[in-house]
Amino acid sequence: MPDTMNVAPAPGAPIPGPAVEETEQTILSGARRAHRRRTRNTWLLRLALVVVWLGSWELVVGLGWIDAFFYSRPSRIWSRLVEWFTQGTDFGTIWLHIWVTVEEAVIGFAIGTVAGVVLGVLLGRSQYLADVLAPFIKAVNAVPRIVLASLFVIWFGLGLTSKVATVVVLVFFAVFFNAFTGAREVDRNLIDNARILGASRGQVLGTIVLPSATSWILSSLHTAFGFALIGAVVGEYTGAQAGIGFLIANAQGTFDTAGVFAGMIIITVVALLAEWGIGRLENRLLRWRPNVGAVAAPLI
């Protein structure tokens, strides 16, 4: 075979190969452009879905196919939101109500999470204790706990305490079961290794069991905060003097469907903000895990 490397191309003859050679820059900028286009199209499509949904709702109400009295309409919900945020509600400023609900949810969430983690890890590490308590936990978990909200209003009154109690019972179980499983699934080798390295029982718990259960616990916090808001709103709905749940209950009482929807939207926004915060926390605490960012990214 002739050594083609040394054969000079005839003068004027085109050099064989792709018409435009790809340099590192063109490859990278091409990839970036494709990524940007994809992101933009995703958002455009999302926007289109919202427009179609709200537009068709507005339209069918406008055409009189469904009754605005029962189903409200986007424009009316929007003006209710504007009214709440500019002039306030019939029961004071909207910020007060948001604050009341968030306060109840956050306090209950904190208490429920701590209790769930402590008891979950404890039972996860003690087979005997877990065996003893298993039937009780299953029974309590089977109770429709949301009904307890009524009891709590009777016991603790219309104020903060009864709502916090409702939130705690909802959050506790969501966190507890994950912490329990997480503490149970700890790699036996890691524990033995730590013990050989000189770790006491407490050190094993703090440096091995808790960190390894962390990914389980954190993933439960997403659902748990959702439960916290549900608990707070249902608690207020059952009996309260302030809060978004109270506004929704009041709107229901006056057949103000737009008010019910407006309350729903405010709760949704709060939940999304919390979800974002917990996601941030998760990424921070689980930095050591491979590809956490890559897994979470498509969900944003």
Interaction site with other proteins (CB under 8 A): 187, 189-190, 192-200, 203, 207-208, 211-212, 214, 286-290
Place of tokens 């941030």: 280
The least distance separating other proteins from the CB of residue 117, rounded to whole angstroms, comes to 16
The least distance separating other proteins from the CB of residue 78, rounded to whole angstroms, comes to 47
Closest CA to 213 of 178, 246, 243: 178
Report how far residue 44's alpha carbon sits from residue 50's, in angstroms, rounded to the nearest whole number: 10
Is the CB of 124 or the CB of 263 nearer to other proteins?
124
Instruction: Give the chain's length.
Output: 300
- Both tokens of residue 134? 């298993």
Is the CB of 138 or the CB of 201 nearer to other proteins?
201
The least distance separating other proteins from the CB of residue 31, rounded to whole angstroms, comes to 23
Is the CB of 135 or the CB of 198 nearer to other proteins?
198
The least distance separating other proteins from the CB of residue 190, rounded to whole angstroms, comes to 6
Is the CB of 111 or the CB of 285 nearer to other proteins?
285
With beta carbons less than 8 A apart as the criterion, state whether 228 and 112 touch. Answer: yes
The least distance separating other proteins from the CB of residue 77, rounded to whole angstroms, comes to 46
Is the CB of 65 or the CB of 288 nearer to other proteins?
288
Is the CB of 37 or the CB of 289 nearer to other proteins?
289
Is the CB of 130 or the CB of 292 nearer to other proteins?
292
The least distance separating other proteins from the CB of residue 280, rounded to whole angstroms, comes to 18
The least distance separating other proteins from the CB of residue 211, rounded to whole angstroms, comes to 5
Report how far residue 253's alpha carbon sits from residue 245's, in angstroms, rounded to the nearest whole number: 12
Quick one: CA torsion of 242, 244, 248, 249, rounded to 10 degrees? -30
Report how far residue 282's alpha carbon sits from residue 218's, in angstroms, rounded to the nearest whole number: 6
The one-letter amino acid at 181:
T
Please tell me what DSSP assigns to residue 145.
Answer: G
The least distance separating other proteins from the CB of residue 300, rounded to whole angstroms, comes to 23
Is the CB of 75 or the CB of 215 nearer to other proteins?
215
